[in-house]
A = this chain, B = another copy of it.
Amino acid sequence: MNVIVGQSGGPTAVINASLAGVYQAAVNSGAKKVYGMKNGIAGLLSEKIVLLNEVLDDDLKIELLKRTPSSFLGSCRYKLKSFETDTTEYEKVFSLLKKYEIECFFYIGGNDSMDTIAKLSAYGKKIGSNVRFVGVPKTIDNDLMITDHTPGYGSAAKFVATTMKEIIRDATVYGTEYVTIVEIMGRNAGWLTAASALARGGDCDGVDMICLPEIPFTVEGFIRKVAEMQKKKNSIVIAVSEGVKLPDGRYVCELSDNVQDVDSFGHKKLTGTARFLANECAKRLKTKTRAIELSTLQRCSGHLASRTDITEAYQVGGAAVLAAVSGQSGVAITLDRISDKPYQCKTGVVDVNKIANYEKKIPIEWINETHTDMEQAFLDYARPLIQAELPPFYVDGLPYHITLKA
């Protein structure tokens, strides 16, 4: 048995832990060759393939892989056309699977990537192929259906909450009036922005306001709330999702004059929300402001990964192999929470069509009445996911990473 694995979509701190999980479970299940697609399905279509048995030929490299952020195999944002309109790409993929004698196909990615698994398995079924296709969820956005949470989210949440604590400390040292607005990723679902609520504790007042894309946003309402808070407190720190939207559906960042562009899925590039709001506060409230974008740091900060997240990412990779070996196809692996206190999760298997192309938003009852903070239920949900650390291997003062030579 040979197998192939690819990575797709935005990087995370633990996407390679899932790759390690797939690799080791495949070898343990008797796979002779474990291939990797370079740059996901887009690379596979031009036969860019690497033999992982050669690249990961000792245990230290596999451990290093678990502690290396951002897709080791490279990534892509590529959506297969429907095979009802054009089978060219499908024929190409299946001819390559035949050529390399591949029986199982694993794809580590978000909801766009689960679409690839859904389409390939459906096409395979149609042509009578017995190759199994299994999705391995990952995304910092945590917006996949069915699964309790997605690998990648815990580490990004740990980065957000840690960074928020540090930003709050920094912003309060002068004791002067200051509004700090921190922009966090999340186009339609505010899971990662909500993670800033984890900063609050005995040693930290926490953020003063959280603005989620789930809640329609008005600039006037925002300014009014800031002005209210300023009456009680000098330094105010606000977490705002890049995806906050006006009641008419436009993104708040569209109000700014930023150069915009669009990615290959047609998604608008969202950036500048915090800066726009900070400028509005400065102008209208005559206050000092600072805008901070956590940018790509929040999705690739391997140095601050959650050990819980790394462990689960690894388990989800392994569970995908077991599912494929047992004959399942067109499925994705889920994390099913057994209990909150103590936290326990196990892996599950679900029809990939129940995940592909859907988005899971934050339940409205987890947001407080004034739409400025998270309820305890959210904290109980998210806190276990950021527990414990697995530090990088530091070499000469810096985290050492494993890389795929060109």
Contact = CB atoms under 8 A, between A and B. Distances in A.
Interface in A282-307: 282-283, 288, 290, 292-293, 295-297, 299-304, 306
Contact of A397 (B11, B279, B388, B402): B388
A171 interface: yes
A203 B39 CA distance: 19
Given A70-B173, A74-B173, A303-B166, A198 B398 contact: yes
B76 A162 contact: no
A78 to B, nearest CB: 10
A398 B199 contact: yes
Contact of A300 (B166, B201, B303): B166
Contacts of A296: 166-167, 170-171, 290, 292
A170 B292 CA distance: 19
Interface string A165-203: 111011111110000000000000000000000110101
A77 B174 contact: yes
A283 B163 CA distance: 33
Interface string A268-283: 0000000000110011
Nearest to A387: B397
Contact of A75 (B162, B174, B282): B174
Quick one: which of A76, A161, A173 has the most chain B CB within 10 A?
A173
B401 A386 contact: no
Given A174-B74, A296-B290, A69 B169 contact: yes
Top 4 A-B pairs, shortest CB-CB distance: A386-B397, A70-B169, A170-B300, A75-B173
